[in-house]
Amino acid sequence: MEGKKLKQEKLTVEIMVRMFCHGNHRTKNELCEECAKLLQYSEDRIDRCPFQENKPSCSKCTIHCYKKDERELIRKVMGFAGPRMIFSHPVLAIQHLFSHSKKTPK
């Protein structure tokens, strides 16, 4: 059963990928193929995280489960969408910041 933190993590990633795709690839309601694949890949990584509900932020994680190309793309997504999240989804953005300020599990 998926917990609250993982659901929130998936929602955050989905919103960020959608913002990135709409802003950079000029899509309207759908994701382009590249962004749809990245979203699915990201959700799979979250599902397979060994820390589950104790999942740290990816930048603080001791295990880097993204392949190099996907890691670079998700960084671009976060760099684009992260600053915009505070305006379009302020509660989620603040929750995301606070949830990732916790210590990394060992």
4-28 per-position pLDDT tens digit: 889 999 999 999 999 999 999 999 8
Q: Say which residue, 13 or 1, is predicted with more confidence.
A: 13
Residue 47: inside a domain? yes
Residue 49: inside a domain? yes
CA distance linking residue 93 with residue 4, whole number of Å: 15
Q: Show the domain range for 21.
A: 4-99
41-67 per-position pLDDT tens digit: 999 999 999 988 888 777 777 888 899
Residue 18: inside a domain? yes
Count up the domains in the chain and report the number: 1
Only one residue has tokens 């913002």, namely 19
Could you tell me the sign of the dihedral formed by the alpha carbons of 71, 31, 98, 82, in that order? positive
- Kindly report the average pLDDT of the chain as a whole number: 88
Residue 104: inside a domain? no
